[in-house]
Structure 1
Amino acid sequence: MNRADTLDTVNARISPRGGLDILSRDEVARLRDASAGGLHDLLRRCALAVLTSGSQSDDPRAALERYPDFDIQVLQQDRGIKLELRNAPAVAFVDGEIIRGVAEQLFSVVRDIAYTAIEVKCSGKFDLESSEGLTNAVFEILRNARVLRPNLEPNLIVCWGGHSIARDEYDYTKLVGYELGLRGLDICTGCGPGAMKGPMKGATIAHAKQRRFENRYIGITEPGIIAAESPNPIVNQLVIMPDIEKRLEAFVRLGHGIIVFPGGVGTAEEILYLLGILLHPDNAGLPFPLVFTGPKSSAAYFEQIDQFLRLTLGEDVAKRYQIIVDDPATVARRMRAGVDKVREHRLDNKDAFFFNWSLKVREEFQRPFDPTHEAMAGLNLHRDQPAHLLAADLRRAFSGIVAGNVKEEGMRRIEAGGPFEIHGDPEIMRALDKLLRAFVEQRRMKISGEYRPCYRVMA
Structure 2
Amino acid sequence: MSVKVVWPQGSMALLTQLEADSISLNSRGELYDLYRNCSLAVLNSGNLTDNSKELLENYQNFEINVVRNERGLKIELINPPESSIVDGEIVSMLQKHLFSVLRDIVLTNVAHKELLKLSSDKLSKSQGITNWIFLILRNAGALLADTQPNIAVCWGGHSISTEEYNYAYKVGKELGLRKIDICTGCGPGIMEAPMRGSIMGHIQQSAEYCRRIGLTEPSIIAAEPPNSMVSELVILPDIEKRLEAFVRLGHVLIVFPGGPGTAEELLFILGIKLLRENRHNPVPLILTGNDKSRPYFEALDSFLKSSLGDEISRYYQIIINDPKAVAIEVSKGLETVHEHRNLVHESYCFNWSLTIPEELQKPFEVNHENMSALDLHKDQEPWKLAAALRRAFSGIVTGNVKEYGIKMVAEKGPFTLHGDKEIIDNMDKLMRDFIAQGRILLSERKYKPCYRFEHDK
TM-score (norm 2): 0.96
- 2:25 and 2:394 map into 1 onto residues whose CA distance is 30
Aligned to 2:17: 25
Q: Give the percent of matched residue pairs that are identical in Structure 1 and Structure 2.
A: 50
Q: In structure 2, do the counterparts of structure 1 residues 18 and 154 end up closer, same or farther at CA, with 3 Å as the change threshold?
A: farther
Aligned to 2:352: 357
Aligned to 1:231: 226
Aligned to 2:154: 159
Establish whether residue 423 from structure 1 lines up as the match of residue 418 from structure 2: yes
How much does 1:126 deviate?
A: 4.9
How much does 1:398 deviate?
A: 0.2
Equivalent runs, 1:35-434 vs 2, <5 Å: 38-121=30-113, 124-127=116-119, 130-434=125-429
Q: In structure 2, do the counterparts of structure 1 residues 256 and 339 end up closer, same or farther at CA, with 3 Å as the change threshold?
A: same
- 2:289 and 2:26 map into 1 onto residues whose CA distance is 45
Structure 1 ranges of 4+ moved more than 4 A: 33-37
- 1:390 and 1:211 map into 2 onto residues whose CA distance is 46
Q: Deviations over 1:72-123 (max 9, x none)?
A: 0111123321110011111111111111100000110011011122331477
Residue type at the aligned position of 1:70? F
- 2:10 and 2:317 map into 1 onto residues whose CA distance is 37
How much does 1:34 deviate?
A: 7.3
Q: Is the 8 A contact 2:53 2:402 kept in 1?
A: no
Q: In structure 2, do the counterparts of structure 1 residues 19 and 209 end up closer, same or farther at CA, with 3 Å as the change threshold?
A: farther
Residue type at the aligned position of 1:276? G
- 2:318 and 2:11 map into 1 onto residues whose CA distance is 40
Establish whether residue 444 from structure 1 lines up as the match of residue 439 from structure 2: yes
Q: Is the 8 A contact 2:378 2:385 kept in 1?
A: yes
- 2:28 and 2:384 map into 1 onto residues whose CA distance is 36
How much does 1:18 deviate?
A: 7.5
Q: Is the 8 A contact 2:111 2:132 kept in 1?
A: no
Q: Secondary structure in 2 aligned to 1:238?
A: strand
Q: Secondary structure in 2 aligned to 1:227?
A: helix
Aligned to 1:7: none
Aligned to 2:454: 458
- 1:378 and 1:259 map into 2 onto residues whose CA distance is 31
Q: Secondary structure in 2 aligned to 1:232?
A: coil
Residue type at the aligned position of 1:55? N
Could you tell me which runs of 5 or more consecutive residues in structure 2 were left unpaired when the two chains were aligned. Answer: none
Q: In structure 2, do the counterparts of structure 1 residues 396 and 35 end up closer, same or farther at CA, with 3 Å as the change threshold?
A: farther
Q: Is the 8 A contact 2:399 2:450 kept in 1?
A: yes
Q: Secondary structure in 1 aligned to 2:5?
A: strand
> 339-348 or 118-127: which moved more?
118-127
Q: In structure 2, do the counterparts of structure 1 residues 308 and 121 end up closer, same or farther at CA, with 3 Å as the change threshold?
A: farther
Q: Secondary structure in 2 aligned to 1:422?
A: strand
Q: Deviations over 1:16-70 (max 9, x none)?
A: 2586322221110101167787111111111111111122221102222222111
- 1:312 and 1:419 map into 2 onto residues whose CA distance is 23
- 1:91 and 1:337 map into 2 onto residues whose CA distance is 41
TM-score (norm 1): 0.96
Q: Is the 8 A contact 1:17 1:103 kept in 2?
A: no
- 1:447 and 1:127 map into 2 onto residues whose CA distance is 42
How much does 1:286 deviate?
A: 1.4
- 1:147 and 1:56 map into 2 onto residues whose CA distance is 26
- 2:219 and 2:415 map into 1 onto residues whose CA distance is 18
- 1:139 and 1:270 map into 2 onto residues whose CA distance is 20
Q: In structure 2, do the counterparts of structure 1 residues 36 and 453 end up closer, same or farther at CA, with 3 Å as the change threshold?
A: farther
RMSD: 1.5
Q: In structure 2, do the counterparts of structure 1 residues 171 and 34 end up closer, same or farther at CA, with 3 Å as the change threshold?
A: farther
Q: In structure 2, do the counterparts of structure 1 residues 197 and 212 end up closer, same or farther at CA, with 3 Å as the change threshold?
A: same
- 1:401 and 1:217 map into 2 onto residues whose CA distance is 28
Q: In structure 2, do the counterparts of structure 1 residues 18 and 174 end up closer, same or farther at CA, with 3 Å as the change threshold?
A: farther
Q: In structure 2, do the counterparts of structure 1 residues 308 and 144 end up closer, same or farther at CA, with 3 Å as the change threshold?
A: same
- 2:308 and 2:144 map into 1 onto residues whose CA distance is 35
How much does 1:416 deviate?
A: 1.3
How much does 1:231 deviate?
A: 0.4
Q: Secondary structure in 1 aligned to 2:148?
A: coil
How much does 1:394 deviate?
A: 0.3
How much does 1:309 deviate?
A: 0.6
Q: Is the 8 A contact 1:126 1:136 kept in 2?
A: no
Q: Number of aligned pairs?
A: 451
Q: Is the 8 A contact 1:126 1:137 kept in 2?
A: no
- 2:229 and 2:28 map into 1 onto residues whose CA distance is 34
How much does 1:139 deviate?
A: 0.6
Q: Is the 8 A contact 2:168 2:193 kept in 1?
A: yes
